[in-house]
A = this chain, B = another copy of it.
């Protein structure tokens, strides 16, 4: 946990945005795997962590704006518990650790909220994403568990998104530490990309590293020789010489901040000329996109710049044709680069995604496109100093998508379908780094993880 002053400051800042009402942050509970007592690794809710810091189940944090008071509700351990669990801090002690003055048993929370509601106080809460929470909050507020989520407070969402979007120095330091773990993970993957090993050998090794240096992986690592399948969580294939291995993996720091890095590695340690050609396009797109980053720039424009470089590169190889700008305008690049360039990152690897992408990545001035590809862009709005997000262009040859487009001769003025067929089994390439927007520009966070062709090849041979 950070110093309690940090949590006090964060809550003060949030409070200022409200004239009245009660802000309720429900902490997460244990999540059962296959029966109630066998639970997944506990993960606290990220907004709860942000304002109330404690990585402990069954808590609720409250900011009472009207009374200018803060509360921690939680479970008070009994002597019986302590016999089994060892010495446990008192609830008041936990509250103190995050600078909260008042604490009470969670069993009194319902009565507490009821009294507030009866006085006409508005209860602001964030969207729920675990079924358990729908039941819990509905029970607390005597509401309908199927409908309660619709009552999540837009005002609270907007206030939290505004605040969490701008990372403070202690948060950047955590992300950099998560990136140091990612450095160890990805250089290990590069050394392990040997024919005969399996994707799972690498998957297991990276999980082990993430657990040994932090809280574990920040999301299911994608470790796949079928990188063209974007949502590919299968990792049972054997590595074969000539294939490209996409490794999209990040870690969580001890304070629950994420990293999210992708590298694409030639199995056997040597890119072929064909692989190099595509790789260099992706790398150039990424570098140029990163170079554009500064406060005031709209991220949708960064995305479109990357798309244009990809289109230009593919035109040069004869896979696309026509003018890059027109091709991108028409959305033709999206056959090969169908996803968004990046997403916010922080306490969540897709930061605040659960609060709603329309709040996190869009605003009144930036509406979501409906064009295939561009529609998937998670972050489009104007960048501000303190934002941290990923830059992750890619080029993929997705057989199912190619067939779909080809059958309709979609955008045939921009796509050379005959040439595309030559790349049908190419796979995919993605390169991803994590970027901080600074006062005047950007900083690529973390230690440089090999990404130049020669560096990736050298990393394969490192001991």
**A30-49 to B contact mask, C-beta < 8 Å, 1/0:** 01111111111101011000
A342 CB, min distance to chain B CBs, angstroms: 16
- With a cutoff of 8 Å between Cβ atoms, the chain B residues found around residue A401 in the complex are 83
- With a cutoff of 8 Å between Cβ atoms, the chain B residues found around residue A41 in the complex are 40, 220
A12 CB, min distance to chain B CBs, angstroms: 25
CB atoms of A36 and B203 under 8 A apart? no
- With a cutoff of 8 Å between Cβ atoms, the chain B residues found around residue A120 in the complex are none
How far, in whole Å, are A33 and B43 apart by their CA atoms in the complex? Answer: 6
A114 within 8 A of B: no
Q: Which of B79, B146, B230, B348 contacts A135 (CB 8 A)?
A: B146
- With a cutoff of 8 Å between Cβ atoms, the chain B residues found around residue A231 in the complex are 84-85
CB atoms of B353 and A37 under 8 A apart? yes
- With a cutoff of 8 Å between Cβ atoms, the chain B residues found around residue A112 in the complex are none
How far, in whole Å, are A145 and B143 apart by their CA atoms in the complex? Answer: 12
* Residue in B closest to A36 when the chains form the complex, CB atoms: B129
A261 CB, min distance to chain B CBs, angstroms: 16
Q: Which of B133, B226, B354, B400 contacts A79 (CB 8 A)?
A: B400
- With a cutoff of 8 Å between Cβ atoms, the chain B residues found around residue A447 in the complex are none
- With a cutoff of 8 Å between Cβ atoms, the chain B residues found around residue A136 in the complex are 131
- With a cutoff of 8 Å between Cβ atoms, the chain B residues found around residue A35 in the complex are 46, 129, 348, 350, 352-354
Instruction: Given A219-B38, A231-B85, A398-B83, answer yes or no on A211-B212 (Cβ-Cβ < 8 Å).
Output: no
> Which residues, 113 to 143 on A, are CB-close (under 8 Å) to B?
129-136, 139
Instruction: Given A31-B31, A85-B229, A401-B83, answer yes or no on A131-B132 (Cβ-Cβ < 8 Å).
Output: yes
**A340-384 to B contact mask, C-beta < 8 Å, 1/0:** 000000011110111000000000000000000000000000000
How far, in whole Å, are A28 and B35 apart by their CA atoms in the complex? Answer: 11
* Residue in B closest to A212 when the chains form the complex, CB atoms: B204
Q: Which of B32, B211, B349 contacts A130 (CB 8 A)?
A: B32
How far, in whole Å, are A8 and B146 apart by their CA atoms in the complex? Answer: 36
CB atoms of B135 and A87 under 8 A apart? no
CB atoms of A232 and B86 under 8 A apart? yes
How far, in whole Å, are A210 and B135 apart by their CA atoms in the complex? Answer: 34
CB atoms of B40 and A40 under 8 A apart? yes
Q: Which of B39, B211, B226 contacts A86 (CB 8 A)?
A: B226
Instruction: Given A135-B131, A201-B212, A208-B204, answer yes or no on A34-B43 (Cβ-Cβ < 8 Å).
Output: yes
A82 within 8 A of B: yes
* Residue in B closest to A229 when the chains form the complex, CB atoms: B86
* Residue in B closest to A254 when the chains form the complex, CB atoms: B236
A341 CB, min distance to chain B CBs, angstroms: 17
A264 within 8 A of B: no
CB atoms of B45 and A34 under 8 A apart? yes
Q: Which of B46, B129, B139, B200 contacts A212 (CB 8 A)?
A: B200
Instruction: Given A33-B43, A45-B34, A211-B208, answer yes or no on A79-B404 (Cβ-Cβ < 8 Å).
Output: yes
CB atoms of B145 and A34 under 8 A apart? no
How far, in whole Å, are A397 and B237 apart by their CA atoms in the complex? Answer: 48
How far, in whole Å, are A203 and B212 apart by their CA atoms in the complex? Answer: 8
CB atoms of A84 and B230 under 8 A apart? yes
- With a cutoff of 8 Å between Cβ atoms, the chain B residues found around residue A85 in the complex are 229, 231-232
How far, in whole Å, are A18 and B220 apart by their CA atoms in the complex? Answer: 42
A168 within 8 A of B: no
A207 within 8 A of B: yes
- With a cutoff of 8 Å between Cβ atoms, the chain B residues found around residue A317 in the complex are none
**A45-57 to B contact mask, C-beta < 8 Å, 1/0:** 1100000000000
Can you name 9 extra interface pairs (CB under 8 A) apart from A79-B400, A86-B229, A200-B211? A79-B404, A84-B229, A84-B231, A130-B131, A131-B131, A135-B146, A200-B212, A207-B211, A208-B211
Q: What 4 A-B pairs have minimum CB-CB distances, sorted nearest first?
A: A208-B208, A131-B132, A35-B354, A204-B212
17 examples of A-B residue contacts, CB within 8 angstroms: A33-B43, A34-B46, A34-B129, A35-B350, A36-B354, A37-B353, A40-B40, A83-B404, A84-B230, A87-B400, A134-B135, A135-B145, A145-B145, A145-B146, A200-B212, A207-B207, A208-B209
